[in-house]
Amino acid sequence: MNKKITIFDTTLRDGEQTPGVSLTNDQKLKIARQLDKLGIDVLEAGFPISSEGDKQSVKAIANEGLRLDVCGLARVLTKDLDTCLDTGVDMIHTFVSTSDIQRIHTIKKSKEEVLTMAVDAVQYIKDHGVKCMFSAMDATRTDLDYLTQIYKAVEGAGCDIINVPDTVGIMSPSRMYHLVGAVSKEIRIPIDVHCHNDFGIAVANSLMAAEAGASQIQVTVNGIGERAGNANLAEVVMCLQSIYGAKTNINTEYLLETSKMVEKYTGIHMPPNTPIVGENAFAHESGIHTHGVLTKADTFEPGIMTPEMVGHKRRIVLGKHAGKHAVQKSLEDAGIQTTDEQLDEIVRRIKAIADKGKRICDADLHAVAADVLGRNLGSETIKLKELSVMTSNLTTPTAVVRAIVGDEEAVASNIGTGPVDAAVKAVQQMIAGYTKVKIRDFRIEAITGGADALAEVTIGVEDEDGRVVTAHAASTDIVTASVDALITAINILLDKKKLWNMQ
């Protein structure tokens, strides 16, 4: 595909229509800045007529001075269009139902009335000097002759780009190819597509549309949106660039960073096996795979897409399928040298732990290696002495941590959205002079039942150099378990940092 494809992001509009998702204006502004950094071409900032809050957030984004074009959504109604114009957007995306099922049962208009409304809306937008995108809503269930007629009519009215939406996600890739191909033969202005993921093929449908002549694809970060969501931004972009060889303006090294931001603000967490941005996207456990990857990454990775291209990192994960090479590499990364006999014993014990259903952390590897080698490994730069947490319905959760850091006693306090957040922030504040860490992974699992259940917290931390360490701890107090796991991980990380600096 030797052409340029522009990317239209609708995370802040269709993405926010995900059931249960509601973003604040500040969060929307932060996401908009991130999408601008990512290189999105057009950002659909919202549906201004839907609420005063949405109108104000669209206006704030439009006035932010971003490089991308800011777009607002509007029905083919003057009040919608005027509200969009009031926000100062660069483009208005106007739409009307064109399929018989929607036209008859929702807006109750004739084909002639819909055609007139569409043309009038486009002319109104263009008379106000703003770019215009027109969508024939439910295009994929609209009679092709009528669909072509309405697209040609809005083109004649001055429309800048038309959108072919698969509103209810019922297209197959081959049908999408033929539909977009047929439309592209009738009009001269650019074609954009908006595919829903009801059958899990929104990305495939979007790519086939691009093959057939579409020059712009609508996406959302993490594929969020109405019902089963929309075409996933990362998947569409990396397929276009790595498989098709097409060009986009996306700075792909920020894809993971962007995914994590939207995940945090929406509360919708990506499964580990999510392509490209998932925790396991570049993770390897199987002995055959890890041996190959450690020798040459392309043996068991696509090659045309590397973890570095998307802001990710390759991980070797220890577990029941781990081989000798993976364990040896993990030990070497921690500065631990073993004999062949010791390595075999460490591998045996790691597999035995994993066979019991436990996830292997860096702390487990250190503990097993220390026992097999018969000596302490590393040092405790941080030794926790006291942890206090204050929380109630009337006060902001506050944590105070006292510890020996190096050879000196240190005390730090911080506030958070909850007691665990406050405690984690206090620890991060305390060790700021040694290293800066951010939380990459945080999981809580109850391992006994009842009101006094024992909970196990697994935590992954990353330092400023991108090194990641995992550890876990168990306690009846989740805050205590969280801090214990965090401090264990940081101590291992600081040992790795010392090793790294000596090399």
Q: Percent of the chain at pLDDT above 70?
A: 97
Q: What is the mean pLDDT of residues 198-212?
A: 98
Q: Do the beta carbons of residue 41 and residue 216 sit within 8 Å? A: yes
List, for residues 217-267, the tens digit of each pLDDT value. 999 999 999 999 999 999 999 999 999 999 999 999 999 999 999 999 999
Q: Do the beta carbons of residue 125 and residue 160 sit within 8 Å? A: no
Same domain, 105 and 19: yes
Residue 236 CA to residue 285 CA, distance in Å, equals 27
Maximum separation of any 2 CA atoms in the chain, in Å = 85
Domain that holds residue 339: 283-373
Is there a domain that residue 144 lies in? yes
List, for residues 406-438, the tens digit of each pLDDT value. 889 999 999 998 999 999 999 999 998 888 888
Is there a domain that residue 434 lies in? yes
Which of 105-114, 168-177, 184-193, 385-394 is predicted with the least confidence, judged by mean pLDDT? 385-394
Is there a domain that residue 1 lies in? no
pLDDT band (50, 70, 90) for residue 358: confident
Q: Which two tokens stand for residue 35?
A: 């999408």
Pairing of strands 6-9, 42-46: parallel
Choosing from 352, 373, 394, the residue where a domain stops is 373
Number of domains making up the chain: 3
Is there a domain that residue 277 lies in? no
Q: What is the pLDDT of residue 406?
A: 87
CATH code assigned at 451: 3.30.160.270
Q: Is the pLDDT of residue 381 over 60?
A: yes
Residue 155 CA to residue 80 CA, distance in Å, equals 21
Same domain, 184 and 112: yes
Q: What is the pLDDT of residue 64?
A: 97
Q: What is the pLDDT of residue 83?
A: 98
Q: Do the beta carbons of residue 195 and residue 209 sit within 8 Å? A: yes
Is there a domain that residue 271 lies in? no
**Burial, 351: exposed, middle or buried (Cβ in 10 Å; 0-12, 13-18, 19+)?**
middle
List, for residues 154-163, the tens digit of each pLDDT value. 999 999 999 9
| Element of type H or E holding 100 | helix 100-102
Same domain, 298 and 355: yes
Same domain, 243 and 313: no
Pairing of strands 69-75, 42-46: parallel
Is there a domain that residue 272 lies in? no
pLDDT band (50, 70, 90) for residue 501: low
pTM of the shown model: 0.86
Q: Do the beta carbons of residue 164 and residue 98 sit within 8 Å? A: no
Same domain, 316 and 399: no
Query: What value does the mean pLDDT of the chain take?
Result: 93
Residue 367 CA to residue 478 CA, distance in Å, equals 22
Residue 399 CA to residue 502 CA, distance in Å, equals 35
Same domain, 364 and 392: no
Q: Do the beta carbons of residue 162 and residue 151 sit within 8 Å? A: yes
Same domain, 251 and 397: no
Q: What is the pLDDT of residue 449?
A: 65
For the stretch 427-436, what's the b/e string if a residue is b when 16 or more beta carbons lie within 10 angstroms of its beta carbon?
Answer: bbebbeebbe
Residue 324 CA to residue 342 CA, distance in Å, equals 11
Same domain, 181 and 215: yes
Is there a domain that residue 76 lies in? yes
Q: Do the beta carbons of residue 80 and residue 49 sit within 8 Å? A: yes
Same domain, 120 and 168: yes
Tokens 């090399």, residue located: 503
pLDDT band (50, 70, 90) for residue 451: low
Residue 183 CA to residue 207 CA, distance in Å, equals 16
Same domain, 115 and 157: yes
Q: What is the mean pLDDT of residues 351-365?
A: 87
Q: Is the pLDDT of residue 198 over 90?
A: yes
CATH code assigned at 79: 3.20.20.70
